[in-house]
Structure 1
Amino acid sequence: MDREELSRIAHADHPIKAPLGDDSVRALLRHTLPRGDERVLDLGCGPAEWLLRALAAHPGVRADGVDLDEGSLAEARERAEAAGVADRLTLHHTSAEDFAPPQPYDAVLSVGAAHVFGGLLPTLEATRAHLAPGGRVLIGDGYWASEPTPDAVEVLGDFSDLPTTLDKVASAGWTPVQAHLSTRHELDAYEWSWLGSAANWALDHDNPEVLKLVDERRAEWLHTYRPSFGFACLVLRRTHEGP
């Protein structure tokens, strides 16, 4: 089973592919879309859950989503039609590097997709090219809430602690205007949802391969990275609007 198919199964009950509750998502979108009539781009949108929620909450918003997984985009199209927002959502089956819109966006989103770009700072650089003056970026990525073990770094990657992460963001020319740090409840609820959805599917379909992946992830989470992993969503503006 490929990674994208497993992800769709595991996120069946948690369509926001990040450790965030519904109230946190609403608050972040409110800070990212203060006017309610913005043009929004999601780089690595998957099934476009962030965009669908933004469109439902703000009738004046128009949105574009970019992703390489056609299955996720097909799901997004179906859900947009069902929600009555398909006329305000355009989906692009292409890479972020190849996406060349005719005009910049008031807001650019990329939550939980930094691995696609090679890390937090490369992701921010990718958003910069698409952001209109005065626009806002909503980005979400991991950080170390406490000293990680070498095994945790091997599993999740070489994050920084929160102060260092924010120092890097500021040095790259961005000013945080709002943020949310996922709570322990949000972090645990996300993992249990992922594990439960995938396990139920594996048991229903008698699929030992997926059940083995679930067992491995549960062990990694509980024994390796649960004590040290944190997740931060930042709403950012460019510190200087020049080139």
Structure 2
Amino acid sequence: MSLTFTPPHHDLTYMAPLSEQRADRLVSFLAAGQPGSVLDIGCGWAALLLRVLEAVPDAVGEGIDLDQEAISHGQSVAVLRGLTDRVDLHVDDARDLAGGWDAVICIGASQVWGAPVEEAQPLPYAAAFAALRALVSPGGRVVYGDGIWSSPPTPAAIAPLAGREDEFRTLGEVVDLAVAAGFAPLAAHEASLDEWDVFESGYAAAYARWLAEHDADDPDVAQVRELADRQRTAYFSGYRGVLGLGYLELLAV
């Protein structure tokens, strides 16, 4: 029997190290362009997309992700917020998308345009920016967010990740790649350590909850403890303060 944990949305507002203050900023950036259409690639349960639609009453949105459970939760939230007639959330492959969007959100989804994750290749920033630029017309707005090195990678940091120092780039290097792809950065900023702590704690909370809800002699306890220990060690003894997440507010030029 496979283990069943509470889904991430039970403990996280966003599937990223993203505070409400930073989310407000990103929503305001997108809403300022008064977009008629907004696309969210790798939307998860579409928390940010739904906020943009609430901020721009005339906009319609589409969110795609490969996680059916996350999509289903996003659909239920859209119902509660009265947005079902303005948003389409579904499982799909971003590589099949066509252009024509006024605004695009892409946070933690650059790997879509790269090699399979199992191959442990560097994050394909350039390919992601090229694909995003093709989706919007000049003047279109893009919120991009993905992993960066906040400080030089250490052996302990890269071990639980892809195991390579060139997996990520610095924030400045990522900004340069965005410019080369046809964007003008309006702003670039980075998730704080507090945002990371909240995110990692929320992501791992499902293990703690499972252990608290099962007897100590449950046959799966050892496996769940190992999963929890591995995640905790990877973060606190590995990439905490080394792996960051950069956010870019981009205008297509």
What range describes the TM-score normalised by the shorter chain of this pair?
Answer: 0.7 to 0.9
User: Which whole-Å CA distance do the structure 2 matches of 1:32 and 1:83 have between them?
Assistant: 19
User: Which whole-Å CA distance do the structure 1 matches of 2:247 and 2:61 have between them?
Assistant: 20
Structure 1's consecutive aligned runs of 4 or more residues displaced over 6 angstroms after TM superposition are: none
User: Could you tell me whether the CA contact under 8 Å between 2:136 and 2:252 is conserved in 1?
Assistant: no
CA deviations on 1:106-157 (whole Å, 9 max, x unpaired) are 1011111223333322222222222122101111011111111134234334
Is 1:138 the counterpart of 2:136? The answer is: no
Is 1:109 the counterpart of 2:105? The answer is: yes
Overall identity of the aligned pairs, in %:
35
Letter in 2 for 1:155: P
Provide the residue aligned with 1:174 in structure 2: 183
1:41-52 alignment runs, 5 A limit? 41-52=39-50
Q: How many angstroms does 1:195 deviate by?
A: 1.9
Q: How many angstroms does 1:212 deviate by?
A: 2.3
Q: How many angstroms does 1:56 deviate by?
A: 2.4
User: Which sections of structure 2, spanning at least 5 residues, go unmatched?
Assistant: 115-122
| Secondary structure of the structure 2 residue equivalent to 1:129 | helix
User: Could you tell me whether the CA contact under 8 Å between 2:129 and 2:177 is conserved in 1?
Assistant: no
User: Could you tell me whether the CA contact under 8 Å between 1:9 and 1:201 is conserved in 2?
Assistant: no
User: Which whole-Å CA distance do the structure 1 matches of 2:11 and 2:248 have between them?
Assistant: 24
Q: Which moved more, 1:78-87 or 1:197-206?
A: 197-206
Q: Say which one has the larger Rg.
A: 2
Q: Which moved more, 1:213-222 or 1:197-206?
A: 197-206
Distance 1:211 1:99, change over 3 A: farther
* RMSD after superposition: 2.4
| Secondary structure of the structure 2 residue equivalent to 1:138 | strand
TM-score where L is the length of structure 1 = 0.86
Is 1:65 the counterpart of 2:63? The answer is: yes
User: Which whole-Å CA distance do the structure 2 matches of 1:99 and 1:235 have between them?
Assistant: 21
Q: How many angstroms does 1:180 deviate by?
A: 2.7
Provide the residue aligned with 2:25 in structure 1: 27
TM-score where L is the length of structure 2 = 0.83
CA deviations on 1:33-90 (whole Å, 9 max, x unpaired) are 2144431001111211111121223322210111222222221111101111111001
User: Could you tell me whether the CA contact under 8 Å between 2:35 and 2:102 is conserved in 1?
Assistant: no
Provide the residue aligned with 1:82 in structure 2: 80
1:91 aligned residue (89, 92, 103): 89
| Secondary structure of the structure 2 residue equivalent to 1:86 | coil
User: Which whole-Å CA distance do the structure 1 matches of 2:201 and 2:33 have between them?
Assistant: 35
User: Could you tell me whether the CA contact under 8 Å between 1:96 and 1:126 is conserved in 2?
Assistant: no
User: Which sections of structure 1, spanning at least 5 residues, go unmatched?
Assistant: none
